[in-house]
Structure 1
Amino acid sequence: MSVVAAAQFRSDEDKERHSSWLENFYDLIVAIVVAQLAVSLNQKIISNVDYVSFVFLFVPVWWSWLGVTFYNTRFETDDLQHRLLTLLQMAAAAFLAINVVGGLSNNSVGFALSYAVIRTLLVFEYLLTGRRVKSARPLTDLYSKGFMATTIVWFLSAFVPPPFRFYLWLASLAVDIAEPVLFTRKLSNRFAPHIYHLPERLGAFTIIVLGVTILAFVDNIATHNWTLPSILSAALSLSVTFCIWWIYFDSIDGSAIRAFRKEKRVAGYFVWLYIHFPLLIGIVGFGVSMEHIVLSNPDLPLPAADRWLMCGSIALCLLSMAVIRITSLRSRSGGPTRENSRERNQAIYTLIAAGLMLLFSAMAVNLLPLHLILGIAVTLGLIVALDIRVHPIHRVKAQSS
């Protein structure tokens, strides 16, 4: 795509636009980081400290990916300069993967420097875009200054001993996450991401995370001494993963972006965007718990930590997907009443299912592993069945056959 096209701020916003090969390549590198994060979480006995550490490290990983994605959806030119900078970001992401295990202990310096390099390269891209596209300069100046300030903090943190190093990380991330919200209120909504491109990027990354969790699951249980309960537990765990895929991809679209761009609905747009973070956290957490339930003693109830990780992760996924549906519903206020009603009902069903998962976490103390995963699979299967029953696409296919 030419620089002239970038200068027009994607005048083809109503036309479909797909991820580039370079973006897909970058996603795969970040997926390695996510896989390493899952490894760091996958302890024999997962404590609250282990989980909080995992979530804390996941924030900069996800934010670094989101920063690159947002730049690409607005200004990607696919020229030599952009390709080289992106490849350098991928190299830094590879070092991020190396250092994420032990990222809060012996590898914290390497983790901080790897993340800082990714963000520095992103700042360079915004600066270069501001020089080439004068009409974009209000946006590029704000982002480059804001991101550079927090990136300097990450560089400096490498020379500060723990735990103060991590306090700097936390403060920097809080400012970074708040900056887009503050900047958006100052700038016109014409700077909003592409209606089709950003949902596709989020969807592609969600698929990759789902695939990474299944890969880790298969790899870790490959040498297991299989029994009938463990086979059934594995099959039901995979069915839950498929249900998560189904529920998410029957609700994701660019409605929240369209409402922000045309109706200036800022809150719904940012809720839709940021709710993907707990969704991804839930997917990875469930992926780790899949292995634990298959390898557990089938004649004994799951330990409390494993039960909470599994049910809590599914509840987090369902809650996130319900919120995605709600934000889409609000952005379709001018659309067909029947479609709004369907989205509202599906959101309610999904929220009820999330509540059931939390009940399983608290009350299924004596439930055997196979029975627990069966209850989860049946619950999500019902959500999918309800979606199939009312979704326009599935109804049309059923009628045509």
Structure 2
Amino acid sequence: MNPQIKSKVYYGWVVVLVTFVTLLVSAGIRSMPSILMLPFENEFGWSRGGISSVISIGIFLYGLVGPFSAALLQRFGIRRVLLVAISGLAISLSITPLMTSLWQFEILWGLVAGLGTGMMANVLGVTVANQWFVKRKGLVVGLLTASAATGQLLFLPMLAKITVAVGWKYAVYSTVAALVLLLIIVAVWMRNHPYDVGAAPYGTQEVVKPEPFRGNLFLAPLLALRSALGSKTFWLLAGTFFFCGFSTNGLIGTHLIPACGDYGIPEVMAAGLLALMGLFDLVGTTASGWLSDRFDSRWLLFWYYGLRGLSLLFLPYALDTSPAALFIFSVFYGLDWIATVPPTVKLATKEFGKEKAGMIFGWVVVAHQIGASTAAYGAGVMREWLGSYTVPFVTAGFVCLFAALMAIRIAKGSAAAPQVQA
């Protein structure tokens, strides 16, 4: 059946919707270890540091596979790559309830889940936006980036309730069911390029056949990295994104629920706080995409990192005072959770061009995940040493303030010029 929809709806928006759902489910899977940390401590006797090390490996591989994922998406097409990644994740999660040792958790969640979710990372959203859209690209990137927050919004409270009510194994089985449904959605509705449905990229009139991928799948991302290493913009984007990962999924995404447990806050309520952040980040990151189409991305990053740093400095006080203070933190921090992605993508595309933007942004994401991996493991170890998360939270606040200063050091000529789209 011809997939071209006989209506005024551009098929690229269908692809965006399928991609949104894919990234949403992937985000739900990546958020699960924060729910499983306490049950695994109780059932298996594993230490906080040991569990954190597995999460750290998964976060690192999730980032490392990004540049190569960009090359795979260009070579084999979005649909085929997603079907393979989703199938692998479903198999890995199905085996998880059978594990008995920490090394098995390392393979299933550190290795397989890290690589699988890495195929469905922010690079996927950038690839879809670049192939299907000329206009509204910033909005699309913002919307697809926000899907990670929406995944938390939908999955975390539900999975936490299942875990508390009937056990963590049933939470894993529920996730496998979601992956099977996602597999069907991608198989039926995903398309690789506007040419597949006889359409032009949104904002243009010419139907153009995509250029075939040229070069070695593993060498091309490395060559793209080499070409970027001489750019000051690349180092500043990678550096700020290192601190971004350090202060988001590596720290708050992994350790907020256990930190709340230290203060007697129930797991379901703590998951609700993360979900609340997800709700507000859906608004904040989508708005960030809209803003990146219109304003200087360097200054957007300055404000995003600066405000995030202030919120993290406030967090230890919020944990020690009242639920109202934690609610304020969740709203304020949530608006800024991953709002940094659209302006970072905009700056990378402006500096390196649409053709290389996916792979080079993938390397920027590697820096993000190295930062996240560092925080995921480091905060767990510091919690064991010091008995609280205060030092990791305050440290993250100060490094975000430093990232804000780094953002405005990006050369003005590389920044996206203000642009209003029709």
State TM-score, norm by structure 1: 0.41
State TM-score, norm by structure 2: 0.39
